[in-house]
Structure 1
Amino acid sequence: MIPKQMQSLHLSVEKVQASRRQFILGVLAAGGGAAFGYHILAASPAAAETADKAKEALAFTPYLTIDGNGKVTVLSSQFEMGQGSYNGIATLVAEELDADWSTIEVLGAAGNVAAYGNIAFGGKFQGTGGSTSMFTSWERYRKAGAAARATLVAAAASEWGVQSSEIAVENGVVSHPSGKSGGFGAFAAKAASMPIPADVTLKQPSDWKLIGNEKLKRFDSARKSNGTEQYTIDVKLPGMLTAVMIHPPLFGATLKSFDATAAKAIKGVVDVVETPRGVAVVAEHMWAAISGRDAVSVEWDESTAEKRSTLELMSLYKDIAGKAPAAIARKDGDADAGFASAAKVLEATFEFPYLSHAAMEPLNAVARKNDDGTLEIWGGHQFPDVYQMLAGQIAGITPDKVQLHVMKTGGSFGRRAVFDGDVVVEAVHVAKAIGYKAPVKVQWTREDDIRGGRYRPSYVHRMKAGIDGEGKLIAWSDHVVGQSIMGKTMFDGMIKNGVDPTSVEGANNLPYAIPNQTVGLTTTEVGVPVLWWRSVGSTHTAFAAEAFLDEIAEAAGQDPVEYRLSMLEPQSRHAVVLKMAAEKAEWAKPLAAGRFRGVSVAESFGTVVAQIAEVSVNSSGGIKVERVVAAVDCGLAVNPDQVRAQVEGGVGFGLGAILAEEITLSKGMVDQGNFDVYTPLRIDAMPVVEVHILPSANPPSGIGEPGVPPIGPAVANAVYKALGKRIYVMPFAKSLSA
């Protein structure tokens, strides 16, 4: 069921669309520039359902602007959090526009569902997630660039009195054989008054100069490297105050009372206020806010709080996993009959802990109420429509009066894609509590971030497999036990027959030819807040499947790569990337003494990745991952250098998680608080990563997340070769020390 506060989202957003269009187009016309887009019906399948209304409300929507100096500003529907979406979208625009790459800038855009709704999500709301940025942008931003180019050409042709077909555009310069030429800025004002073509012809791949260019570097690399890039943590407004939160120590607890007398006596503390999410200490600067927080005495009502430990929860999960699942996600053939006829049956139980997102920039947001009644919010707006609507409700204004400043963010991994607004809501509540007398930045500390919930859920997989006398896998079952991410959210309607797709993705779509297989799910009710985490369900399903498959291959007496290939169609994407990885890693060639290899292959977000990990064992029996060879089929690679970077980053992110990361609870309280005990991968543990991209003419699929799922099982399979020990309990540190 969609929460009450979400039910009015689409109606509220409709009010924003027209005013947003008028604001952007009006400002540009006054500034002598031009805004470009293409007909909204080409942007979103959802819009086509309401064609007449879309035509009336929004004939064209801006995706880029060009000013009088020739600067090209791309207005991105996708949120930039380090994954390179801004760079990819800029590449699409610049390619069709024939722009000068050095003139490109990208800004986050929000407040226009018709223009910016994510096509992968049905076009009904704006959001960044599921590694869909290039998929949703692939056509609309190329068409915007092509429309802008055509309009500039028409403007130049009109001014010069020549035919448009005689004009060429290259590197931001419009030219004619007569010798006449000019930069984009010279024609921007005239182009702004000309009709924008609804239908444009896109370039053929043979004419691309930027898309697929191996040497193209990110337009924002310099400022990200020299520290001049601006994030929400850098926002400083005149008179701005800083607030830190005191959240309940137990999930589900509520505020009973608090005493702020001592806190208010600390120099720099301005106020201590109650909010629906806890107590906020508001101060002139961060240090005063933290000092004040330490001095506040709070009493909590814990009568409805979650008080179980993770040990209790895991024991419960394992007990449930040994019983029949509550729902069936996949059923092929007759698994029970397959097990009965099998020559050998194998069983295993895999345990996965809660995981924190632990992005480098902890959660934050800035809210300011203006004299004209509008509300401005700076933050990492991964679900902007949701935050705009919730903020308006708190402030008592309509969503069109909430202006979102979409800031670049130092990582998210799904953490800022929340249904209740989280830190954005906190910032508005705190600003309201102090009477909007000053802008307020709510800044979480690392401890707030790690103890603040919204974790990758904890899961148990109960696996069973049967092989015949020749080693063929004839029966398979996987019972998944864990919390639902989508339940009781705006995505509740996607749960069908008791199956949350995010709990079983990667398990219910295995590519292997197994005649009898069952994937079951039992969803648990636990008071620990959960959320998608980089690569979501495949973080655990790929591990359970690929680690167990290696065990089955050994029981069948077969090579792990060949065993997988025997169950795959020879020309399937999985088979092709698996063979590529094996070839590049020289799988058939013996390794040097002390080195051991493991393999895995997984699909997530439309992309297939195979990885082969090489590990070594030190004198004390410790494991080090030395090398990872990855083969990737992500469709057409818009930015090959960025694809490699994301796979490299995914390997490091996933490796840190499986080696040592876990969130544990004692009597309901989170044990971890900072990176001394919650330990992401250290730099000296990062392996050498080689990424090989499969050439493809298919549209781009995801890349921000698919590098994560295969690394865990690949390393686990290598560890077995090295130590003779199967890894069933995450993280490895727990299994290897047992």
Structure 2
Amino acid sequence: MDTQTRQSTGRRAFLKTSLGTAGGLVLSFYLPSAGAAEKMAPAAVFAPNAYLRIAAGGAVTVVCPFVEMGQGAYTAIPMLLAEELEVDLAKVRVEHAPADEKLYGHPLFGAQLTGASASVRGAWEPMRKAGAAARIMLVSAAASTWGVEPSSCAAAQGVVTHQASGRKLSYGELAAKAAGMPVPKDVPLKPAASFRLVGTAAKRLDVPSKTNGTAKFGIDAQVPGMKVAAVAACPVFGGKLASVDDSKARAVKGVRQVVKLDNAVAVIADHTGAARKGLAALAITWDEGPNAKFSGAEWERQLEAAMKGKGQMALNEGAYAKLVEGGARQVEATYVMPFLAHATMEPMNCTVQVRKDGVDVWTGTQAAGRAQAFVAKALNVDPATVRINNFLLGGGFGRRLEVDYIVQAALIARQVAYPVKVIWSREEDMQHDLYRPLYRDELAMALDAQGKPVGFRHRFAGSAIEARYAPMWMKDGIDTDAIDAAASPYDFAHKVVEFHPVETAVPTGFWRGVGPTHNTFVIEGFMDELAVAAKADPLAYRRAVLSKEPRALAVLELAAQKAGWGKTMAPGSGMGMALAVAWGSYAACVIEVAVDPAGQVSLKRVVAAIDCGQAVHTDGVIAQIESGSVYGLTAALYGKLTLENGRVAQSNFHDYPVLRMNEVPPIEAHLVKSGEAPGGVGEIGCAMVAPALVNAVFAATGKRLRRLPVEAEQLKQA
């Protein structure tokens, strides 16, 4: 099997053209969404809403519809276009796309957002076609200039060459004439065998600016006349601001104004220090509202109670109930997944200026179109007057799909006559997140007379995030994200998936793969339990029920082989495996741990294998597996939030830690070469590591964990 490896330490119409300014070729395409093509006049498709610009000087600019938050979108997406355009990737410049749901709506979601491991999946065909069409037009322009057939010319490295005579013209020299060429139809694309960029470890385009300090994140926004605001919202979910005595805050040097909102108060000052000092001087009285006594224990009770009723039947294949009625033995287990914070490294921030003729917003967001719409609604203005200036994101993980912090900043800025940068403290962020939901899962497996698993039932309760965020994504009233991967990839003839949506006082949101991350953990933990009960090797047990998923079986076996599965382990050490099938990709990992007598877990090694179809940027894929592994292991080991009296007790990294550099084990990522269409990679690494970890802990200690995080007290030797 061909693999690529790195070890770490630690559709329809798509193209229209117009004559650009300054003799340049402006070539625009859109990722189709919600009938946008029918609604747009040709003039609106071209500049300034262009994705590709080729200037008279030869500069190539890609306006990327997806944001860069560390996942490599600003390299992988331009690679697709540059591959077919035949230009040097290093000479491509990337720009943030403006907020425009019609032009930049994602083909899978109908909204302008970056998430769900879907950027490359959505851009795979449109970006390549855009590049190919532009190349054909440039070649036609050169052929027309020389009076030869286009077939006698070839494009490479931003230059068109007449092969017989050796004459050459650069793309910049051809741009003006190319703009008048007819738009090609049924654009042929390169076969994979001809790729020169796609499938390589090209240098990332965002690294130089991030290395020399010129990269700009939302928190770096600087606007003339700008002031800075520190903010405090009611610590109790759903609470309001009752009153505030701001006399001492106004006395702080540099403080300019105190702004009140329904559920928060902000202190605006000349600089951050004065704003925070002023905030600390406020005497605030909160109306804690109806959730003042809500707790995590109450949330769990609500989930358990909900599961005693009838849920939403998401899947009912075969006849599971008849199996049990007929005498099939049933094995059951209950798992609980905690609610989790995002803890992005860049604090939540947004700068806003509200003018009489419009609103300017400077921030980092995964959903620019949503931000524009929500700000317009909050301020009761025309969305066309709201301009979103997007920046690089210092961590997204789904948190910046939300726009609460942007709307809050807009409401604050509305009350003053100057631009305001609102920066949340780490405590404000930790305690006012939109959290990964808490879930309760009840799993059952029906076994035949020989003990072979033949039927699988998965009932679970938790928040339906889609119902709040995007009801149009739901299918037959069921949250499609919540049930994603809930049926398992294994070939059981009888499967039942039943979802019980439960909403509580705690706001919930997407967290680096909610459905598959949650479902993979409980299913892979349960599969390990079943293998142990059957006195079977976990790999052999899974292999026996993966005949219908050859790609899944291949990554599982590859990870096991590379990890040395089955080798003798020292006392207190163990290996665990897990399989994840989601976002169009297949991944598996083996984790090796050691557990000391005090119950402390040491991560020794992570070995992963992934089949994501055609990898576009191989180095980026592997980096995402590494990143997801670290993020997922952090949650599995340290992701504990305590909810009491309607509020989150944890406040910063001292009581909600992340893996330190010395704790991160060697991570091997083996990339399977594949000719299938690209799958997603941003979240699958996160999904597979938690179950592999608890399975490894069981192998080392004999103690089965059905609740995260892994805590030393659970593993301490008697």
TM-score (norm 2): 0.92
Corresponding residue number in structure 2 for 1:289 = 275
Deviation of 1:621 after TM superposition, in Å, equals: 3.9
User: C-alpha distance in 1, partners of 2:213/2:228?
Assistant: 22
Corresponding residue number in structure 1 for 2:485 = 506
Closer/same/farther in 2, CA of residues 734 and 518 from structure 1, 3 Å limit = farther
Deviation of 1:211 after TM superposition, in Å, equals: 0.2
- Please list the CA deviations of residues 171-230 of structure 1 after superposition, one character each: whole Å capped at 9, or x if unmatched: 2233334343343333334434544435422222222100001x3121222222343311
Corresponding residue number in structure 2 for 1:360 = 345
Mapped contact 1:101–1:171 kept (Cα < 8 A): no
User: C-alpha distance in 2, partners of 1:662/1:622?
Assistant: 16
Corresponding residue number in structure 2 for 1:212 = 199
Instruction: Kindly indicate whether residue 126 of structure 2 is the aligned counterpart of residue 140 of structure 1.
Output: yes
Instruction: Kindly indicate whether residue 688 of structure 2 is the aligned counterpart of residue 710 of structure 1.
Output: yes
Instruction: Kindly indicate whether residue 49 of structure 2 is the aligned counterpart of residue 68 of structure 1.
Output: no
Q: 1:669 aligns with which of 636, 640, 647?
A: 647
Corresponding residue number in structure 2 for 1:407 = 391
User: C-alpha distance in 2, partners of 1:494/1:107?
Assistant: 32
Mapped contact 2:98–2:388 kept (Cα < 8 A): yes
User: C-alpha distance in 1, partners of 2:38/2:86?
Assistant: 33
Deviation of 1:705 after TM superposition, in Å, equals: 0.6
List aligned pairs for 1:44-59, cutoff 5 A.
44=32, 46-47=34-35, 52-54=38-40, 58=44
Mapped contact 1:168–1:175 kept (Cα < 8 A): yes
Mapped contact 2:703–2:715 kept (Cα < 8 A): no
User: C-alpha distance in 2, partners of 1:476/1:571?
Assistant: 17
- Please list the CA deviations of residues 104-163 of structure 1 after superposition, one character each: whole Å capped at 9, or x if unmatched: 121121333333111111xx3211111110011111111111222223323333444444
Deviation of 1:365 after TM superposition, in Å, equals: 1.3
Instruction: Kindly indicate whether residue 433 of structure 2 is the aligned counterpart of residue 432 of structure 1.
Output: no
User: C-alpha distance in 2, partners of 1:331/1:72?
Assistant: 52
User: C-alpha distance in 1, partners of 2:80/2:506?
Assistant: 41
Corresponding residue number in structure 1 for 2:5 = none
Mapped contact 1:480–1:504 kept (Cα < 8 A): no
User: C-alpha distance in 2, partners of 1:533/1:265?
Assistant: 41
Deviation of 1:299 after TM superposition, in Å, equals: 1.9
Corresponding residue number in structure 1 for 2:184 = 197
**Which residue identity is paired with 1:445?**
S
Mapped contact 1:150–1:197 kept (Cα < 8 A): yes
**Which residue identity is paired with 2:77?**
I
Deviation of 1:680 after TM superposition, in Å, equals: 1.8
Instruction: Kindly indicate whether residue 710 of structure 2 is the aligned counterpart of residue 722 of structure 1.
Output: no
Instruction: Kindly indicate whether residue 92 of structure 2 is the aligned counterpart of residue 109 of structure 1.
Output: no
Mapped contact 1:70–1:103 kept (Cα < 8 A): no
Pick which of 626-635 and 66-75 moved more. 66-75
User: C-alpha distance in 1, partners of 2:411/2:548?
Assistant: 57
Instruction: Kindly indicate whether residue 171 of structure 2 is the aligned counterpart of residue 187 of structure 1.
Output: no
Corresponding residue number in structure 1 for 2:74 = 86
Corresponding residue number in structure 2 for 1:262 = 248
Q: CA RMSD in A?
A: 2.5
Corresponding residue number in structure 2 for 1:543 = 521
Instruction: Kindly indicate whether residue 550 of structure 2 is the aligned counterpart of residue 567 of structure 1.
Output: no
1:504 counterpart SS class: coil
2:248 counterpart SS class: helix
Deviation of 1:570 after TM superposition, in Å, equals: 5.7
Deviation of 1:615 after TM superposition, in Å, equals: 1.2
Corresponding residue number in structure 1 for 2:320 = 335
User: C-alpha distance in 1, partners of 2:299/2:522?
Assistant: 19
Instruction: Kindly indicate whether residue 442 of structure 2 is the aligned counterpart of residue 451 of structure 1.
Output: no
Corresponding residue number in structure 2 for 1:176 = 162
Corresponding residue number in structure 2 for 1:612 = 590
Structure 1 unmatched ranges of 5 or more: 1-20
Q: 2:27 aligns with which of 23, 32, 36?
A: 36
Deviation of 1:713 after TM superposition, in Å, equals: 0.8
Deviation of 1:286 after TM superposition, in Å, equals: 0.9
Mapped contact 1:480–1:503 kept (Cα < 8 A): no
Deviation of 1:658 after TM superposition, in Å, equals: 0.6
Closer/same/farther in 2, CA of residues 493 and 512 from structure 1, 3 Å limit = closer
Mapped contact 2:342–2:433 kept (Cα < 8 A): no
Q: 1:658 aligns with which of 636, 644, 648?
A: 636
2:547 counterpart SS class: coil
Structure 2 unmatched ranges of 5 or more: 1-14
User: C-alpha distance in 1, partners of 2:480/2:574?
Assistant: 35
User: C-alpha distance in 2, partners of 1:225/1:592?
Assistant: 42
Instruction: Kindly indicate whether residue 205 of structure 2 is the aligned counterpart of residue 223 of structure 1.
Output: no
Deviation of 1:592 after TM superposition, in Å, equals: 5.6
User: C-alpha distance in 2, partners of 1:695/1:388?
Assistant: 40
User: C-alpha distance in 1, partners of 2:94/2:197?
Assistant: 16
TM-score (norm 1): 0.89
List aligned pairs for 1:480-491, cutoff 5 A.
480-491=460-471
Deviation of 1:276 after TM superposition, in Å, equals: 4.2
**Which residue identity is paired with 2:376?**
G
Closer/same/farther in 2, CA of residues 554 and 189 from structure 1, 3 Å limit = same
Pick which of 440-449 and 573-582 moved more. 573-582
Corresponding residue number in structure 2 for 1:351 = 336
Pick which of 145-154 and 194-203 moved more. 194-203
Number of matched residues? 699
Deviation of 1:338 after TM superposition, in Å, equals: 3.0
**Which residue identity is paired with 2:476?**
K
User: C-alpha distance in 2, partners of 1:56/1:145?
Assistant: 19
Q: 1:518 aligns with which of 496, 499, 505?
A: 496
Deviation of 1:564 after TM superposition, in Å, equals: 0.8
User: C-alpha distance in 1, partners of 2:395/2:45?
Assistant: 35
- Please list the CA deviations of residues 565-597 of structure 1 after superposition, one character each: whole Å capped at 9, or x if unmatched: 111116522122212222222224434665421
Deviation of 1:56 after TM superposition, in Å, equals: 5.5
Closer/same/farther in 2, CA of residues 127 and 277 from structure 1, 3 Å limit = farther
Instruction: Kindly indicate whether residue 280 of structure 2 is the aligned counterpart of residue 298 of structure 1.
Output: no
- Please list the CA deviations of residues 34-73 of structure 1 after superposition, one character each: whole Å capped at 9, or x if unmatched: 22134x5xx42643xx765446575666211122332211
2:225 counterpart SS class: coil
Mapped contact 1:728–1:735 kept (Cα < 8 A): no
- Please list the CA deviations of residues 481-525 of structure 1 after superposition, one character each: whole Å capped at 9, or x if unmatched: 22221224432661535x323222221x31222234332222223
Closer/same/farther in 2, CA of residues 363 and 59 from structure 1, 3 Å limit = closer
Mapped contact 1:353–1:664 kept (Cα < 8 A): no
Identity %: 38
**Which residue identity is paired with 2:133?**
A
Closer/same/farther in 2, CA of residues 735 and 611 from structure 1, 3 Å limit = farther
Deviation of 1:244 after TM superposition, in Å, equals: 1.8
Closer/same/farther in 2, CA of residues 52 and 240 from structure 1, 3 Å limit = closer
Corresponding residue number in structure 2 for 1:598 = 576
- Please list the CA deviations of residues 346-382 of structure 1 after superposition, one character each: whole Å capped at 9, or x if unmatched: 33221111100111111111112457x1322111232
Mapped contact 2:473–2:480 kept (Cα < 8 A): no
Deviation of 1:315 after TM superposition, in Å, equals: 3.7
Corresponding residue number in structure 2 for 1:586 = 564
1:138 counterpart SS class: helix
Instruction: Kindly indicate whether residue 537 of structure 2 is the aligned counterpart of residue 553 of structure 1.
Output: no
User: C-alpha distance in 2, partners of 1:313/1:94?
Assistant: 50
User: C-alpha distance in 1, partners of 2:320/2:591?
Assistant: 32
**Which residue identity is paired with 2:338?**
P
Deviation of 1:530 after TM superposition, in Å, equals: 0.3
Closer/same/farther in 2, CA of residues 157 and 517 from structure 1, 3 Å limit = closer
Corresponding residue number in structure 1 for 2:451 = 471
Mapped contact 2:33–2:102 kept (Cα < 8 A): no
Corresponding residue number in structure 1 for 2:8 = none
1:313 counterpart SS class: helix
User: C-alpha distance in 2, partners of 1:689/1:430?
Assistant: 45
**Which residue identity is paired with 2:332?**
E
1:93 counterpart SS class: helix
User: C-alpha distance in 2, partners of 1:370/1:166?
Assistant: 57
Deviation of 1:329 after TM superposition, in Å, equals: 2.2
Deviation of 1:325 after TM superposition, in Å, equals: 4.1
**Which residue identity is paired with 1:433?**
Q
